[in-house]
Amino acid sequence: MNKAIEVCILAAGKGTRMKSSKPKVLHPIAGRPMLRHLVSTVQSLGINNVHVVVGSGADEVKKSFQNDDIDFVLQLEQKGTGHAVMQALPHLDESKRVLILLGDAPLLKAETIEKMLKCECDLGVLTVIQANPFNYGRIIRQHDQIIEIVEEKDAGDEQRQISEVNTGVMIADVKKLSRWLDRITPENSQGELLLTDIVKMANSDGDVVKGIVAADPIEVQGVNDFEQLSQLERYYQTTIAKQLMQGGVHLMDPNRIDVRGDLKVGADSTIDINCIFEGNVSLGSNVRVGANCKIIDSTIADNVEIKPNSIIEGASLEAGCSVGPFVRLRPGAQLGQDVAIGNFVEVKKTTLGKGSKASHLSYLGDAIIGAGVNIGAGTITCNYDGVNKHITEIQDDVFVGSNTALVAPVVVGQGSTIAAGSTITKQIDADSLAIGRGRQKNLSNWKGPRSK
């Protein structure tokens, strides 16, 4: 636990360039708000004292994190980064150090933060080497000491040639930070209280100011518009894709996979193009996922085949199952070993036993289906009476003919057969044949509308 460290995340910006009513830090990367990425990274290092400075859309940000132990600090007027940190100062323990992060730079790595925590200095500044440093604050050094950060608008020609730039991330002793902030002024081209000015104050006090250089410019990149957001999204997805492939997963195209949560995949599995994984998803070994599938909060065992264009949410599939194409498994779908669900079948809150199959064009909702059951095309469980949901129970080795309606609550006994086109409203005993349809009647020499 890093009990001697507190974190202050600056998240009060309006995000004007995004032209969105949503607070900037709530825009997602990999399905999670930018701010969530930062908070999770910090918490993974055992830092639990997290303060977030909010302004525009403050209530919406707080609501999104209402289950987190976060101290939200309101910045009523946006007067610069220094002013934002001033709002958090009364909430910080003077005996500790504070790590200052930016809510719109969400992909900062835990290893980089650890480097900052280990840096022996009064003020640590995270920097990065930019091939094109335009519009970044330049780092002015004398040997190992950073003596000044000069913003683009205030920089001279020689200073603008410097490629080492400020990222906005800092670490400092809280007591000294308070003293430095007391002395900054809005005498700059922006007319704001800039956090970067504390570097001058620290130098004037004889304090040690060191730079910690980030390894990768993309991890410290901020988001000001949707183009930059998409760049970070692709960087994140590329990182995940590389990890999957290094773990023995065959991605047909690593540029066409989206992981928006936690995905675990066993060896020798194959994922085709344009697949999306949300929430907590686990795929076993030798799983094949076809193109254009979406899998959400589901557990898939070994040797399962998911054919193209299938949607699986909140489902559990045991070994050897085959589903798709164009299958929808809704929450509560539990498929036993070697179950086969074919095209245009929807399964909701239903269990299917070993070897059962529904090959096409059916709806199975609120049902308990045994082993070795065959569900014919066009079968539906009529589970909803307009007020309540009811259970359909189909026992082992039942054969359900095509175009059957099972009006719940109803029990179909083991080994029974239902004739095609039946509407079943009563219990069927074991080893019986059920026929629930009107008798066919043919009228000879019928003169209908077409005969005229």
d(CA 354, CA 318): 9
Tokens of 447: 């003169």
Task: Give the pairing type, strands 340-348 and 322-323.
Answer: parallel
Q: Are 189 and 223 in contact (CB under 8 A)?
A: no
d(CA 293, CA 272): 9
What are the residues whose beta carbons fall under 8 Å from the beta carbon of 52, sequence distance 6 or more? 8, 9, 11, 35, 61, 65, 70, 71, 72, 73, 103
d(CA 323, CA 69): 41
Return the C-alpha torsion angle 195, 196, 201, 202, nearest 10.
100
Active site residues: 360
Measured between alpha carbons, how far apart are the two ends of the chain, in Å?
Answer: 89
Written in H, E and C, the secondary structure of 226-261 is HHHHHHHHHHHHHHHHHHHHHCCCEECCCCCEEEEE
Amino acid sitting at position 229? L
Q: What is the DSSP letter of 34?
A: H
Residue 153 class from Cβ within 10 Å (0-12 exposed, 13-18 middle, 19+ buried)? exposed
Quickly list DSSP for 333-366: -EE-TT-EEEEEEEEES-EE-TT-EEEEEEEEES
d(CA 169, CA 174): 15
Residue 55 class from Cβ within 10 Å (0-12 exposed, 13-18 middle, 19+ buried)? buried
- Scan for tokens 């002013």, then name that residue: 83
Angle at 346 between CA 430 and CA 344, to 5 degrees: 110
Q: Bridge-partner residues for 365, per DSSP? A: 348
- Scan for tokens 């760049």, then name that residue: 231
Residues listed for the chain: 452
d(CA 326, CA 332): 18
